[in-house]
């Protein structure tokens, strides 16, 4: 799509939740290069400011930042008031990774509930809040970043994989509902990707995808929903789906233990 068409369809401003590092930072650079102004949200102020400054320097676009925790009960209200009168034509919900592998019973319940807020409750509130004005304008888009961990239950990562299954189903159903209102919805399914969050987890990152590649695939395929399997993860997902469910869960458990 030509830059002017892209900016008209998904601009003037993109909101990136989890826009400071890794895939989110790659989205920030690439969307600004396509002519969009940016609203970036993440918790740690330093990487957020670094990414914002780098994008401003590279593209000259307007970039505003908000340091906020997406698991907080008032997250959607805070983000809505941060966006203010800016016309948000594209929302990328990127934040959402797990920070450790651990059995469900060995993890404090609060940690699992925070994961549910990050990947279920807050995305529902965000999509509801920003899709309304997009529908009134008859244009806009969403990219919900998900994971192959949502294709089958992943032991030691139970709530994470369940929230990613939610994300996949949510994106698919809304793709159908929002299309007639002029809004594109894409569930962008990632496999192992070389991000600072995964590096902090100390996982074996052999063969991990480049964040810039998966962000570019998301942008290129935003209108090709409901789902795009980034960096060639489609075959693995298809294989998992072909298995008996118990076999699929055992395969997930074995992949997770190979990672670390
Ligand atoms: N990396 C992989 O191998 C992989 C594989 C499959 C799927 N994915 C998906 O890809 C997306 C990005 O993953 P990632 O590896 O880059 O890790 P991530 O921990 O989701 O971090 C991505 C961004 O989100 C922000 N963030 C995380 N938690 C947040 C919170 N509670 N509130 C506000 N901002 C928050 C981070 O900054 P702060 O930490 O400063 O807040 C960062 O800017 C996730 O949805 C993940 O599930 C990743």
Mind listing the pLDDT tens digit for each residue in 33-51?
Answer: 999 999 999 999 999 999 9
Neighbours of 223 (CB within 10 A): 13
23: CA distance to ligand 1 center in Å? Answer: 8
Single pTM value for the model = 0.97
List, edge to edge, every strand of the sheet that includes 37-42. Answer: 63-67, 37-42, 13-17, 88-93, 140-147, 183-190, 227-229
Q: Say which CATH number the domain at 152 has.
A: 3.40.50.720
The response to whether residue 188 sits with its C-beta less than 6 Å from ligand 1 reads no
The response to whether residue 195 sits with its C-beta less than 6 Å from ligand 1 reads yes
The response to whether residue 161 sits with its C-beta less than 6 Å from ligand 1 reads no
Q: pLDDT tens string for the chain (260 positions)?
A: 788 899 999 999 999 999 999 999 999 999 999 999 999 999 999 999 999 999 999 999 999 999 999 999 999 999 999 999 999 999 999 999 998 999 999 999 999 999 999 999 999 999 999 999 999 999 999 999 999 999 999 999 999 999 999 999 999 999 999 999 999 999 999 999 999 999 898 888 888 999 999 999 999 999 999 999 999 898 989 999 999 999 999 999 998 888 87
User: Checking DSSP bridges between strand 88-93 and strand 227-229, what pairing results, if any?
Assistant: unpaired
How far apart, in whole angstroms, are the C-alpha atoms of residue 63 and residue 13? 9
Structural domains of the chain, count: 1
The residue nearest atom 28 of ligand 1, judged by CA position, is: 95
**29: closest CA among 216, 256, 239?**
216
153: CA distance to ligand 1 center in Å? Answer: 20
Kindly list the distances between the CA atom of residue 135 and the CA atoms of 21, 90, 93, 206, 253, in Å, as whole numbers in the listed order.
30, 12, 18, 42, 41
Range of the domain at 232: 3-259
18: CA distance to ligand 1 center in Å? Answer: 6
197: CA distance to ligand 1 center in Å? Answer: 7
Vertex 255 angle, CA 253 and 260, to 5°: 95
The response to whether residue 237 sits with its C-beta less than 6 Å from ligand 1 reads no
Ligand 1 atom nearest residue 93's Cα: 45
């Amino acid at each position: 799509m030509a830059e002017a068409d892209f900016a008209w369809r998904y601009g003037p401003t993109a909101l990136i939740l989890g826009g400071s590092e890794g895939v989110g930072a790659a989205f920030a650079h690439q969307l600004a290069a396509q002519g969009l102004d940016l609203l970036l949200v993440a918790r740690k102020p330093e990487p957020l400011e670094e990414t914002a400054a780098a994008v401003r320097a590279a593209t000259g676009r307007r970039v505003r930042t908000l340091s906020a925790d997406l698991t907080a009960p008032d997250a959607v209200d805070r983000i809505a008031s941060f966006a203010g009168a800016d016309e948000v034509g594209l929302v990328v919900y990127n934040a959402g990774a797990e920070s450790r592998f651990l059995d469900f019973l060995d993890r404090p319940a609060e940690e699992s509930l925070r994961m549910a807020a990050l990947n279920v409750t807050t995305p529902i509130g965000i999509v509801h809040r920003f899709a309304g004005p997009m529908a009134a304008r008859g244009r806009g888009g969403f990219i919900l970043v998900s994971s192959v961990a949502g294709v089958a239950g992943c032991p030691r990562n139970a709530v994470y994989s369940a929230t990613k299954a939610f994300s996949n189903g949510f994106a698919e159903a809304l793709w159908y509902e929002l299309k007639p209102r002029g809004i594109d919805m894409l569930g962008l399914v990632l496999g192992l990707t070389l991000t600072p969050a995964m590096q902090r987890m100390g996982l074996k990152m052999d063969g991990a995808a480049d964040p810039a590649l998966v962000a570019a695939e998301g942008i290129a395929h935003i209108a090709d929903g409901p789902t795009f399997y980034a960096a060639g993860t489609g075959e693995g997902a298809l294989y998992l789906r072909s298995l008996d469910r118990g076999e699929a869960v055992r395969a997930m458990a074995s992949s997770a233990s190979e990672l670390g």
